[in-house]
A = this chain, B = another copy of it.
């Protein structure tokens, strides 16, 4: 049952008279449940509780954190149909997507459970003492990763499960040993509360300290601002717009004690289509990209919003093929009327730029909030001069840039802002003639794809989801995969610490049998 209240640890709380509702974009009508905006006192209470919980939670063994994470997964599964129907009515997304995203969320939780149960993720590094070394003895030093402290996670509008309440950021932070306070996304507050209830149940069942998790409702920016500025908050995870992410980054940087903000923000995910790809496979690429651009109404951070090629009849043919294919696809519902209105506005802004040519713009009548896909084209020099055309248009939209030659292509790529992904469509032989282009693209992205599409982010250790600013605020970390745990931890060294007082990960006997770097050698052995 959805109460509309905040979870301050395991306590449901609703002190505010200010409430709000979610919206069903398919029916174009507000949902019934009222959500209570968190008050300043409730925020403070949640953070203080997290701070106290940290003192216990930071020392809980990996095996027990694994039980907790798996229990969260189980409790989410137990929500069953109620979760799926709530998800659908708050997002307008189809049931298949809801179930798929739920599966991904469960998979993420279990993969972090496995990571911390195994234990080697702490990167234990040991240098044993040399008491007789001259001129001074060498001390015994042992280092491992420890959690940063309470973490604030902002729910993402476009991933109500996989990047919100119990999503990747939360799973990684809890695995690291950091209590989490979620600033629930107002567009799917009911989905958020259900998942929060699952986390709270799991925490209670597995004996985690109260305050290891809280869920705060908020329809505006005040709750988020107070959370990021709270002295006891030690890091922030965010997925959303550049404007929102940068605002949080700036707040965190101005604190007396600055803290890291991992904001995964906008990206146009440039795709470079080279002559060989057009020679071999124009039709297939046109069809494939029509599908990638419109997938999930274009509401993925890896949506290919920019396609770059070198002027030729073949490129013209590709643009025509893409334009014909894309209008064959039925438009789908966007997440919220506000997102739909932004899409219409941003698309129109692109249309209005001098030099752009509209190649496809879906015209038949559709339901409210259904996004009509579009393809534009523009010449390279026009694109270079007009940075408005470099901006993301969040939705089923792509701009094809026709460059004069290889040099202009390279110049354009080198002037792009940072991106999550870059894609090259070519073959192995031609790729060797475009090393400067590929090198320039590599400098601007976190992941580079050969003959594929950027949509579809595989959750696995080798995934890099993040890239140079503004794709993310810190390109040195990923938001997807087990290595995302690295955002919430810091190295901590013990010098000449007695063996029996060391954490198990660093004891001579290596009771957890984890992999450690001991005197320069990676080993699972004891000392």
What residues of chain A have their CB less than 8 Å away from a CB belonging to chain B?
A: 55, 125-127, 136, 138-139, 141-143, 146, 148-149, 249-250, 253-254, 257-258, 260, 417-418, 428, 431-432, 439, 442-443, 446-452, 456, 458, 460-464, 466, 468-470, 473-478, 483, 486, 489-498, 500-501, 515, 517, 520, 522
Residue in B417, B462, B522 whose CB lies within 8 Å of A142:
B462
- Is A495 a contact of B450 with CB atoms below 8 Å? yes
Interface centre among A250, A258, A451 (most CB of B within 10 A): A258
Separation of A469 and B254 alpha carbons in the complex (Å): 13
Residue in B127, B449, B495 whose CB lies within 8 Å of A461:
B127
Separation of A222 and B265 alpha carbons in the complex (Å): 33
- Is B493 a contact of A452 with CB atoms below 8 Å? no
Separation of A477 and B139 alpha carbons in the complex (Å): 21
Nearest residue (CB) in B for A438 is B501
Separation of A461 and B249 alpha carbons in the complex (Å): 31
Separation of A314 and B284 alpha carbons in the complex (Å): 83
Question: 4 shortest A-B CB distances, which residue pairs?
Answer: A464-B493, A253-B253, A141-B462, A447-B493
* Chain B residues in 8 Å Cβ range of A522: 515, 522
Nearest residue (CB) in B for A475 is B490
- Is B257 a contact of A492 with CB atoms below 8 Å? no
Q: A257-B468, A450-B498 are in contact. Are A125 and B461 (CB under 8 A)?
A: yes
Q: What are 25 sample pairs from A and B whose C-beta atoms fall under 8 A apart?
A: A125-B483, A139-B452, A139-B456, A141-B463, A143-B464, A148-B476, A250-B253, A258-B469, A260-B474, A428-B501, A431-B501, A432-B501, A446-B491, A447-B492, A448-B493, A450-B496, A450-B497, A451-B496, A461-B520, A462-B493, A464-B492, A477-B491, A483-B491, A515-B522, A522-B522
Residue in B136, B451, B468, B483 whose CB lies within 8 Å of A456:
B136
A242 CB to nearest chain B CB (Å): 11
* Chain B residues in 8 Å Cβ range of A55: 439
Residue in B458, B491, B498, B501 whose CB lies within 8 Å of A478:
B491
* Chain B residues in 8 Å Cβ range of A254: 253
- Is B126 a contact of A442 with CB atoms below 8 Å? no
Residue in B141, B249, B253, B490 whose CB lies within 8 Å of A446:
B490
Separation of A490 and B492 alpha carbons in the complex (Å): 21
* Chain B residues in 8 Å Cβ range of A450: 494-498, 501
* Chain B residues in 8 Å Cβ range of A495: 447-450, 452
Separation of A448 and B496 alpha carbons in the complex (Å): 9
- Is A143 a contact of B463 with CB atoms below 8 Å? yes
Nearest residue (CB) in B for A468 is B257
* Chain B residues in 8 Å Cβ range of A442: 146, 492
* Chain B residues in 8 Å Cβ range of A492: 442, 446-448, 464
Interface centre among A249, A460, A476 (most CB of B within 10 A): A476
- Is B141 a contact of A469 with CB atoms below 8 Å? no
**A143-B462, A475-B490, A522-B522 known; 8 other A-B pairs, CB under 8 Å?**
A127-B458, A127-B460, A257-B417, A258-B469, A446-B490, A464-B493, A476-B489, A483-B491
Separation of A469 and B490 alpha carbons in the complex (Å): 12
A129 CB to nearest chain B CB (Å): 10
Q: A501-B431, A522-B515 are in contact. Are A476 and B463 (CB under 8 A)?
A: no
- Is B496 a contact of A452 with CB atoms below 8 Å? yes
Q: A55-B439, A253-B253, A260-B474 are in contact. Are A461 and B517 (CB under 8 A)?
A: yes
* Chain B residues in 8 Å Cβ range of A448: 492-495, 497
